[in-house]
């Protein structure tokens, strides 16, 4: 076998080996796993934190913009009397100018009359001997005030333009973050239902992710779905109605009694139309309590033989009694 054929054979072996390794490597690379509920909630928390900062920046620039607009308005009001006075002087000078033109139609009077600026107006009237020294001084004062106004307004107009651009940029950022949060909320609900289905559970309503302590309370109560109702139990594997509320609020350091009527009197009573996720809702003369999770739903431990579940607010028990907020 010649040296060239040996080299060619070795080259084919190396190429084949490289391709095989590449294919095996590609086959061995696992597909990216879908994010879990916890991971999605962490992303929502991050986005919510970013949104809070953007909203505060937006509010600050909005206040600055209002202040700038107020300054421009004040400046315009300050100038108004000067403009009014200058207008009167123009009106008073008109008969003199007309007479001068009619008397000397072919002299340099026309050029003097046609002078355009307020400064030129002063000069032309002086030339026509139609302005008193007082009026001349007044016009100079007006012109000085107008120049100062123009300079100040130019600065404020530029500032207003910059602030408006910043406000627009922040508004765009806010809209994008809110859209991202909406998408993450939807993904979280889908994954939540999928995970519940894998545990053999069916969840009619998945609440929006709520940041802060109220969210901790709601999520902990939701995690107990499927646990059996057991009288006088407060977890971790079984609950009665007030025991579920007690255990949920224990997660944020709030100690509640293990009795519905006492829980009702522990916090601030609120109206039904003011309910927020995390509020405790009471029924049947304070004989039953559930946890409001938003969207018109509660999670609760209903009664003997049942288990922790999500139901519509009006279907959980009857009659509705009231609500209490602890946060």
Active site positions, annotated = 241, 288, 300
Q: What sign for the dihedral angle of Cα 309, 290, 278, 256?
A: negative
Report how far Cα 103 is from the mean position of its chain's Cα atoms: 71
- Residue 306: is the preceding peptide bond cis (ω within 30°)? no
Phi, psi (deg, nearest 5) at residue 34? -65, 145
The region, left, alpha or beta by phi > 0 then psi within -120 to 50, assigned to residue 142 is alpha
Give which of 287, 286, 281 is closest to 314, Cα–Cα.
281
Q: How many angstroms separate the CA atoms of 193 and 207, rounded?
A: 11
Q: How many angstroms separate the CA atoms of 11 and 19, rounded?
A: 12
Helix (H, G, I), strand (E, B) or coil at 34: coil
């Amino acid at each position: 076998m010649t040296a060239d054929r040996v080299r060619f054979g070795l080259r084919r072996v190396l190429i084949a080996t490289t391709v095989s390794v590449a294919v095996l490597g590609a086959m061995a690379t696992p597909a990216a796993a879908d994010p879990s509920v916890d991971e999605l909630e962490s992303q929502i928390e991050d986005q919510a934190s970013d949104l809070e900062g953007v909203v505060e920046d937006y509010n600050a620039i909005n206040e600055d913009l209002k202040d700038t607009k107020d300054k421009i308005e004040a400046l315009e009001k300050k100038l108004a009397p000067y403009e009014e006075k200058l207008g009167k002087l123009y009106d008073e000078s008109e008969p003199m100018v007309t007479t001068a033109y009619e008397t000397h139609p072919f002299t340099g009077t026309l050029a003097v009359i046609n002078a355009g600026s307020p400064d030129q107006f002063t000069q032309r009237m002086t030339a026509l001997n139609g302005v008193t020294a007082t009026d001349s001084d007044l016009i100079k004062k007006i012109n000085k005030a107008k120049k100062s106004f123009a300079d100040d307004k130019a600065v404020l107009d530029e500032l207003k333009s910059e602030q408006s651009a910043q406000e627009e940029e922040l508004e765009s950022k806010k809209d994008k973050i809110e859209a991202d949060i909406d998408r993450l909320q939807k993904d979280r609900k889908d994954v939540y239902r999928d995970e519940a289905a894998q545990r053999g559970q069916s969840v009619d309503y998945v609440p929006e992710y709520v940041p802060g302590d109220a969210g901790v309370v709601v999520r902990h109560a939701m995690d107990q779905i499927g646990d059996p109702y057991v009288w006088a139990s407060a977890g971790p594997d079984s609950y009665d109605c007030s025991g579920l509320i007690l255990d949920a609020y224990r997660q944020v350091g709030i100690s509640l009694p293990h009795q519905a009527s006492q829980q009702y009197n522990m916090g601030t009573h609120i109206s039904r139309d003011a309910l927020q996720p995390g509020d405790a809702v009471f029924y049947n003369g304070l004989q039953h309590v559930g946890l409001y999770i938003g969207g018109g739903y509660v999670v609760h431990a209903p009664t003997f033989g049942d288990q922790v579940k999500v139901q519509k607010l009006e279907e959980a028990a009857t009659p509705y009694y009231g609500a209490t907020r602890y946060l």
